[in-house]
Amino acid sequence: MSEFGTLNHRRTLGFTGSKGFRHLFCLESGVYLAYYGLTEPPFDITPNPRFLFYSAKHREAFNHVLYGIRERKGFVQLTGEVGAGKTTLCRAILDQLDGHYATALILNPVMSAGELMKAVGIEFGLPVNGLDRLDTLGVINQFLLQQVERGKDSVLIIDEAQDLTDELLEQVRLLSNLETDDRKLLQIVLLGQPELRDRLNNPRLRQLRQRITVRYHLPPLSRGEVNQYIQHRLEIAGAKGAPYFTQPALWRVYRYSQGIPRLLNAVCDKALLAGFVGQREEIDYRMVSRAVQELEGQLAA
C-alpha cells in the first residue's frame, strides 16, 4: 500500500472510518491529480471552452448563436438555468471567431448606464476614461464605423443579462441603433437565466424584444448525457481508465445535479477527493452521496 493508504496518513487527511469524510472537503481539488494521473482538474467550475461537452442541445445553441453573429442578425438571446453552461459555450464561440471580429464581453452588468457604456468602450480597447456617456457613445460609434471600413464585424456579449435594469436594456437597444444604410454596426448577444425571457416580455421592452431575431433556450443534460459529460471531462484532463464512476454513482450524480453542469462539476470534484483519500480508483454511490451531503452542508462538524 502506498503512503497515502496508511492509517496515519488517512487520519492526517481527516479520513477515519465510517465518518471519515467529515473533514475531507477542506482539501483542494489539486491533491488528487497525481494519484489519478491527471494533468489538470477535470471538474473545475471556471468556464473553460476546452472542456465544453457538446450535447445535442449545446451544439444547437452553439450553432444558433454563431449563425446570429455571422449573419449579422443584430440581437441574439441565449437563456438557460444557472450553471447550464451558457458562459462556457459563449467562450467557445469567442474562440471560434477569428480576427475578422472585434469582441467585447461584459460579465457583470450590474452598473449604471454610464458605467455600462464605458465598460463596452474599455472592452473594445477604446480610450473612454474621463468621457461622459454621450461622448463615450460617440467614440464607440466611430470605432464601429472604422471596423466596417476595414471589412470587420463587432460583437458585444452581455452575460447575466437578466440583471440588466430597464434603463440598461434601453441603453443596449440604443447601441443596437448604431448602423449604416445597409447593416448593423454591432451584433449583440444576451446571455441570461430564464428570467430574461420574462423581462423581455414586459410591454415596456417591446421595441427591444422585436429586435431579437435569434433565440435559444439551453436545457439541462439528460441522464445519458451526464454519463458522457463526466467521461469527456476526465479524458480531457488526461484520465487513462481511472478514476471511473460506477453506474449507481452516476445515477446519484444525475439525481443531485439534474443535468446542470455546474452542479455536476461540484459533486464530481468532491467525489474524486473521496476516492483519493480512500485510495480508490472506483468512485461508488457512497462517495457521491457523501459529496452531496457535504455540498448541502449536511455532514456533522
pLDDT digits (tens, 9 = 90+) for 174-205: 898 888 888 889 999 999 999 999 989 888 88
pLDDT of 11 reads 34
Contact 52, 58 (CB under 8 A): yes
Confidence of residue 299 (pLDDT cuts 50, 70, 90): low
Question: Which amino acid type is present at position 136?
Answer: T
pLDDT of residue 19: 46
Cell, residue 9: 496518513
pLDDT band at 98 (very low <50, low <70, confident <90, very high): confident
Q: Is 2 helix (H, G, I), strand (E, B) or coil?
A: coil
**What's the confidence (pLDDT) of residue 27?**
55
Domain ranges of the chain: 3-48+222-295, 54-218
Which pLDDT score is estimated for 29?
60
pLDDT given for residue 298 in this prediction:
64
pTM: 0.85
CATH architecture of 3-48+222-295: Orthogonal Bundle (1.10)
Per-residue pLDDT, 183: 85
Q: CA 60 to CA 37: how far, in whole Å?
A: 34
Which residue bears the cell 470534484? 269
pLDDT of residue 16: 40
DSSP result, 257-293: HTT-HHHHHHHHHHHHHHHHHTT-SEE-HHHHHHHHH
Q: Which CA distances in Å does 73 have to 70, 93, 120, 142, 189? A: 8, 16, 20, 21, 10
- Residue 74: predicted pLDDT: 85
122, pLDDT greater than 90? yes
Helix, strand, coil percentages for the chain (3-state, nearest 5): 55, 10, 35
Average model confidence (pLDDT) for the chain?
88
The gap between the terminal CA atoms of the chain, to the nearest Å, is 29
CATH code, 54-218 = 3.40.50.300
Strand, helix or coil at 197? Answer: helix
Torsion of CA 194, 197, 201, 202, to 10 degrees: 70
DSSP string, 91-129: HHHHHH--TTEEEEEES---S-HHHHHHHHHHHTT---T
Query: Among 76-85, 171-180, 230-239, 253-262, whose mean pLDDT is lowest?
Result: 171-180
DSSP state of 179: B
Q: At what angle do helices 285-295 and 247-257 cross, to 10 degrees?
A: 20
